[in-house]
Amino acid sequence: MKPDLLIATNGFKGTWPSIEYGAWLAATLNAQITLLGVTENLSPAAIDDDHHPLEDVFARAVELFQKNGVTYRLEVQNGNAEDVIPRKAKQGNYIITVLGPLGRPQFRRMLTGRSIRHLMEEIEQPILYVPESRLPLKKILICIGGLGYEVTAEHIAMQMAIKSRAEITLLHVIPLIDMNYPTAKTVSTHWQNLTETDTPVGRSLRQALEIAKNDGLTASVKARQGNVVEEIMAEVKEGNYDLLCMGSLYSTNALRQIYAPNVTAEVSDGAACPVLSARYKRES
């Protein structure tokens, strides 16, 4: 059986790039698609006109899926997208959930936060957030934190790179803080040649480079110093990447989540390119 992608839309025009990207990804990974349409606040006028708000989006999507030669199924559910999408994601064995902006009013975002933050917390599968489509895929940026939480996202990115022959850049950001333990001092001192250090991040970078090399991919390493979110965003802009891949805060235990900043959510909020985030799952 083919792997399954879940793509979700509430009919907002900003979700179309995610549908477009999901169609390409399904064809690239030889996967099938479940397109979930969420009906929110269906007005009596729409019912009287016998024209469902998702009808036009589904019509465009079906044409696109057929053009890409992918198998698909359509489903419509009523309710709030932030509730419906995670519930659907938990019901299936989806390899990736593909999402786009839901078009929430600014006032609502101020009160409840951006939808992507809630969805990242509730959805356990890898999430591909697509604010705009960047195809063809030529340049991928993978953020390496050194704790291994990015491994799952890294593996998916490698698969995508192999299919697209995309170049990979491995990025590590050293925060400007007072670090008094030996490993942190080594990283801070040798931040321009981390792959030569016997540190967790050095080992992670070497391993990722080796995997890329064995897969016949072009890969390089970059390091930056400063605020982690700001430096990642700056690298994305300066490097004009087509895809950003990161581990998820929810790879960590509950205690760490209390005090750890959600860098992935912060970056997803502001990144112009698609962002792939995935929780690390230890092999049994």
Cis check: omega of the bond before 136, within 30 degrees of 0: yes
Global pTM reads: 0.86
Asked if the structure places residue 283 within a domain, the reply is no
| DSSP at 216 | T
Identity of the amino acid at 40: E
CA dist., res. 120 & res. 89, Å (int)? 11
Q: What's the CATH code of the domain at 48?
A: 3.40.50.620
Q: What would the pLDDT profile of 206-247 be if each residue is shown by its tens digit? A: 889 999 999 999 999 998 988 889 999 999 999 999 999 988
Considering 76, 101, 129, which residue would you say is the last residue of a domain? Answer: 129
Asked if the structure places residue 134 within a domain, the reply is no
Partnered with residue 73 across adjacent β-strands are 34
Q: Which residue has the tokens 């750890």?
A: 260
Q: Are residues 125 and 150 in the same domain?
A: no
Helix (H, G, I), strand (E, B) or coil at 121: helix
Q: Are residues 267 and 169 in the same domain?
A: yes
Domain range enclosing 190 = 139-278
pLDDT on residue 257: 44
Q: Are residues 61 and 96 in the same domain?
A: yes
Q: Are residues 104 and 147 in the same domain?
A: no
Q: What would the pLDDT profile of 33-43 be if each residue is shown by its tens digit? A: 999 999 987 65
Q: What would the pLDDT profile of 79-105 be if each residue is shown by its tens digit? A: 999 999 999 999 999 999 999 999 887
CB-count burial class (<10 Å; 0-12, 13-18, 19+) for 262:
middle
Asked if the structure places residue 284 within a domain, the reply is no
CA dist., res. 127 & res. 169, Å (int)? 20
> Per mean pLDDT, which range of 40-49, 92-101, 155-164, 194-203 is the poorest?
40-49
Q: How many domains does the structure of the chain reveal?
A: 2
Q: Are residues 145 and 264 in the same domain?
A: yes
Cβ–Cβ under 8 Å, residues 152 and 281: yes
Q: Are residues 108 and 155 in the same domain?
A: no
Helix (H) or strand (E) holding 167: strand 167-174
Asked if the structure places residue 248 within a domain, the reply is yes
Cβ–Cβ under 8 Å, residues 87 and 122: no
